[in-house]
Structure 1
Amino acid sequence: MAAGRGVGTWLREGVWEIPLRRYLALLVTAAVLAGLVVGARVVLHDDRSCAPGVARPEGSDECVGVATTAFDFGHPQLRDTVQAIARENARLKPGSYVTVAVMLPYTSTATANLADIEHELQGAYLAQYQANHDSNGQSPVIRLVLANPGATSQYWQRMVTQLAGMTGGTDRLRAVAGVGQSTDNNKKAVKELTRLGIPVVGSSITADDLANGQGGKDPYPGLARVSPTNTDEARALASFAKVSAGRALLVYDKPGDPYTRTLQTSFAALIKGSPYEPQPFTPPADRSQEGTTANTFRQITNLVCDTSRTTDTILFAGRHTQLRQFINALGGRGCQDRKFTVLTGDEGSYLTGEKKLDRSALGHNLSVRYTALAHPDAWGTGSPGTGGSAADMATLTGLLKSAEKAPVGPIGTVALEDGQLIIAYDAMRLAVHGIREAVPEGKSVPALADVGLQWPQVKGSLRVDGASGWICLDAHGNPYDKAVPIVELRAEGGSRFVRIAWPEGKPPSGECLPPS
């Protein structure tokens, strides 16, 4: 540095001016890049949100959680019903309502499952509308939200955590209805919900181990159901079909899930002493998938033909995808001259509109009958004087007529044959009944803990007159001697109601009081 020239002089003359300018530019660039990185993280995080209360977990494209707005989970067939629910929710005044969550696997992609979900959601909405408009001003009014644990209920913990957070504040969640199929993940979800004191009303769950009262224990305190257990369905089926051990063969899912395992146990008890070894098949873990079980069923049909000519009944303990594969295989069996009847549980209802079912198989000396949860023709001419009535079903059909247009509807394409709309309507009506019966005198909203305590009193004059039949609950929250429609698949499409059967072998008395 030359004598007499300081740092300031060098800066003024530009000797350091360029390096300093570059340094500052680098700092600014770094800051901008850092901001972009942070912003990108925020954007990516926000991209996982699907709708209020619903988001995609890391590593998944499913939108799971609790939807509180008109979100259809990417399924156009749900849109009309979802929007109808949103309109009804929007008209409710803050502080006047409690919330009920409809838990179903909304992100399922299986066609039969989606039809089930659509119909269950329609039934739940119709019960909500009825409760809010046709109950002579009873309170509280009901707000519905949609709780999705994922297609296979893999994210049940995430959903349960959200629901638990909704029991207070303005949401005031007071029950969860629906649940979906009897699977291991749904068992875990119901176990945790009831452990947290959240009442659950199962619509289509039938597994014996997803019920209270087995062995005198109540592992799910606060759980009520509107569908019979698999054991009760099997008892009703036996009273109808007169199943004989020497004339029946059991085909079952191995290792099974809660539905198929308890159905297998119930069927095995009916044909104890059968000369034939039960025939297992092993489906994919996700039983809505095809897998390779069609090959197994082709082999089992050969064994069916190997049985003595007095054998005419096949008891099938499996899910609907495998049932469809089995029926298709039986259509090509070698012994076409022999008549067989396949008897199965309520999963048979999924096949009423199943396009992959080879209905020509039903014209080859083959009948398929199943225990439905409900059927629109069950309460027609000749129905029993107790256990249900045509008038109760007519109330629902009247609501459906109103839902064809505003203000009630539209709610999309309606179908009653599979029974899902009917049973979901009844489940929501039971939830509303429990909520309103739990309201203390002088109050308008019940305590969460009090709702689940109402189930043992739902009997006698306090029963719920469901469209599927009377709902009279025992001390464990299970329906007593519930009507079980026996339904047959038709070769020309759809199904045919055969008759009502009863777990007790006959309808309940007019009092509908379970025995001790």
Structure 2
Amino acid sequence: MTTLIQPPPPGYRKWWWIPAALLGVALLVAAAIWLPGRFATDNRCADGVVRTAEGGECVGVTDGSYKFADELTDIENRILAQNSAVEQSGEPYVSIVLLTPMTSGSNAEGNVTMAGILHRLAGAHLAQLAANETSIWQRTPKIRLLLANPGVDFAAWPTVVDEIEARRVDERIVAVTGISFSFQNALDAIGELTRREMPVIASTLTVDNLPPWRGFLKVSPSASEHARAAAEFLAGSDDRILIVRDDSPADQYGRTLAEAFQARFPDDPQRLVERPETFDSKAGDVSIAFHMMMPNICRLAPRTIYFAGRGAEALEFLTALATRPCNDALVHVVTADDMPYYQLAEVPAGKALETGVRVLYTGLVHPQAWEDHPDRFNPFSVEQFSPDCEGPICYRNFSDGSLDDFAAIMEHDAVVTAVQAIRNAAAFVPEVKDSGPVLQAMKGLHSDRKFLGASGTLSFENGLPMDKPIPILEAKLGAPPEYIGLP
């Protein structure tokens, strides 16, 4: 019987599994790349703008081509048009980023309002136009204005700061302005920007005890300066004063106000009524704390209440005060600059003014102060904010004309300060394209290099403004605030 001998298989059949394995790996890699993109939610709103997972806000940086809210369409289109004109001019230019919330969130009475956002953008755009189209300053480099939304509470600041850094070279970003709230997230954003050697000029940031950030300035007086101005205003009377203080661990504003106010009366402790009444804005439901204060307020009968907290909570406090059992007793409520973001006639808090309550607050600027003290303000900027302004560089051309919340004026002056540093630097270097020359020039904005803005003198020491006027204003129902005077 013959046994058949089978020849060995060809070599290529012994290694058939290798190309099959390689094909399998390739398919797995392709699936890993394609499937997540196919089934995951796209969080991109536009170039440089993404949607947050938490609140659904679109955060990031735009030149005005992406609209963060429908209400911002007109002003963003104007900024976009000016940015395009700068790029097409053929002249040297740099970019300034306005970093501030561009969305107001769901709470209509929160710290961030759409009216305030509109005013901030309009004030910054006014400064951009003045820098690019008037002969008051050296004319170059021209200024592009980028808009950066960190979210209503600045929670997305890391994403936005990274986006600013990614655009820094290509878009010649040399400064960041805005940072208008003293949320911890906002302070963290400043810290990271300055760590990256990006100049920051804050607008209405009022918190005290800031770190010695390199390349940081702010154009608004600190909260302690506001408190001292209020105390100075009250020092001439013999009214007994009760302090109502926000003890929130997330916002230093209330504690800063209260401590600076109390420090004004070290030799006259009898002026202050017992211990302060306190609340915690972070915990929510602040109306509970305010209503529980009313029996003490009636018993102690202070002539003046100094409210050391935010405007949103001040409204809640005034609403509770309107229901106090002793509403036949006259009382003055004095607070700080956050108050004018709200129209008392439009909210229940306005009823307090009908029950013997007078609401005073320290402001940042007022048109009457422009008239009474013209030497303390920039006449060109004042004219551009005037309701009678004529020509293309007028605030009223692209806003509702309101200045009651100070937002437009302070954002304007923050951009003006950045432009001043940029143009000063440009006088000494061939071309400003990055932040280094601007950081150097910022250090010289004092003494003989000080200048006037719409909010007063812009002269800085350790990053803080010096000799800024702080007017005392009175809130009115359905009307602009009344100017009381400068302390």
Q: Quote the offset at 1:325 in angstroms.
A: 0.6
The alignment status of 1:348 with 2:345, answered yes or no, reads no
Is 1:451 aligned with 2:438?
yes
Could you say which residue in structure 1 is the equivalent of 2:457?
470
Aligned partners of 1:245, 1:40: CA distance in 2, in Å?
74
Instruction: Name the counterpart of 1:236.
Output: 229
Q: Secondary structure at the match of 1:284?
A: helix
Give the distance between the partners of 1:103 and 1:446, measured in 2 at CA. 20
Instruction: Name the SS for the 2:206 alignment partner.
Output: coil
Matched letter for residue 393 of structure 1: V
Please name the residue that 1:306 is paired with: 299
Q: Is the 8 A contact 1:375 1:418 kept in 2?
A: no
**Where does the alignment leave 5 or more consecutive residues of structure 1 unmatched?**
1-26, 211-217, 286-290, 502-516
Query: Does 1:106 pair with 2:95?
Result: no
Q: Please say if 1:377 is aligned against 2:368.
A: yes
* Contact kept? 2:337, 2:363, Cα under 8 Å: yes
SS at match of 1:323: helix
Deviates more, 1:334-343 or 1:64-73: 64-73
Aligned residue number for residue 78 of structure 1: 72
Tell me, in whole angstroms, the C-alpha distance in 2 between the residues paired with 1:345 and 1:167: 36
**Gaps in structure 2 of 5+ consecutive residues:** 1-22
Q: 1:388 aligns with which of 370, 377, 397?
A: 377
* Cα shift at 1:60: 4.7
Tell me the SS of whatever aligns to 1:99. strand
Bigger Cα displacement from structure 2, 149-158 vs 106-115: 106-115
CA distance in 1, matches of 2:420, 2:382: 18
1:379 counterpart SS class: helix
The 5-angstrom pairing of residues 284-295 of structure 1 reads 284=282, 291-295=284-288
Match of 2:46 in 1: 51
* TM-score, normalization by structure 2: 0.85
Cα separation, 2, equivalents of 1:195 and 1:350: 32
User: How far apart, CA to CA, are the structure 2 residues paired with 1:98 and 1:399?
Assistant: 32
Partner of 2:61: 66
Aligned-partner Cα distance in 2 for 1:392–1:68? 24
CA distance in 1 between counterparts of 2:388 and 2:201 reads 22
Aligned equivalents of 1:59, 1:333: Cα separation in 2: 39
How many angstroms does 1:244 deviate by? 6.8
The 1:237/1:76 distance shift into structure 2, 3 A limit, reads: same
Displacement of 1:442: 5.5
CA displacement, residues 469-498 of structure 1 (integer Å, 9 cap, x when unaligned): 121222x12111201121111134432122
User: Aligned with 2:346: secondary structure?
Assistant: coil
CA deviation string 1:276-315 (max 9, x = no partner)? 1111112236xxxxx311121112122111114xx31111
Pairwise CA distance, 1:350: 1.3
Q: Counterpart in 1 of 2:154?
A: 153
Q: What CA distance in whole angstroms lies between the structure 2 residues aligned with 1:36 and 1:438?
A: 53
1:337 matched to 2:336? The reply is no
User: In the TM superposition, what is the alpha-carbon distance from 1:401 to its structure 2 partner?
Assistant: 4.8
How large is the Cα RMSD of the aligned pairs? 2.9
| Partner residue in 1 for 2:5 | none
- Deviation of residue 44 (structure 1)? 5.8
User: Deviations along 1:199-231, whole A, 9 cap, x unmatched?
Assistant: 111100010133xxxxxxx52111111100111
Structure 1 residue 371 displacement after superposition: 1.1
Segments of 4+ moved more than 4 angstroms: 33-40, 43-46, 243-246, 389-392, 398-401
Match of 2:278 in 1: 280
Q: Encode CA deviations 1:366-419: one digit per residue, 9 max, x unaligned.
A: 111111122233212xx23643266641233279654599xx995243311111
Measured in 1, the distance between the counterparts of 2:392 and 2:362 equals: 28
Question: Size of the alignment, in residue pairs?
Answer: 452
Segment drifting more, 195-204 vs 267-276: 267-276
Q: C-alpha deviations, 1:19-47, integer Å up to 9, x for none?
A: xxxxxxxx9xxx8x998996563356683
Tell whether the 8 Å contact from 2:176 to 2:200 is kept in structure 1 after alignment.
yes
- Whole-Å Cα distance in 2 between the matches of residues 243 and 164 of structure 1? 51
For 1:482, the equivalent position in structure 2 comes to: 468
Quote the residue 2:484 is aligned against: 498
Percent sequence identity is 31
Structure 1 residues 60 and 490: CA distance shift in structure 2, 3 A:
closer
Alignment deviations for residues 31-75 of structure 1 (CA, whole Å, 9 cap, x no partner): 8x99899656335668311112101244551211212342221x2
Could you say which residue in structure 1 is the equivalent of 2:141?
Answer: 140
Q: Could you report, residue by residue, the CA deviation over 1:111-146 in whole angstroms, capped at 9, with x for unpaired residues?
A: 352221111111000100110111366211011111
Match in the other structure for 2:405: 418
Distance 1:414 1:36, change over 3 A: farther
Q: Cα distance, 1:462 vs. partner? A: 2.4
Question: In the alignment, is the contact (CA less than 8 A) between 1:249 and 1:278 conserved in 2?
Answer: yes
Aligned residues of 1:128 and 1:428 also touching (Cα < 8 A): yes
The answer as to whether partners of 2:138 and 2:423 remain within 8 angstroms in 1 is no
Q: 1:497 to 1:45 in 2, by over 3 A?
A: farther
Contact 1:105–1:150 (CA under 8 A) maintained in structure 2:
yes
Counterpart of 1:226 in structure 2 is 219
Secondary structure of the equivalent of 1:465? strand
- The 1:409–1:313 alpha-carbon spacing in structure 2 relative to 1, beyond 3 Å, is closer
Q: Report if the CA contact (8 A) 1:244-1:271 is conserved.
A: no
Partner amino acid for 1:86?
L
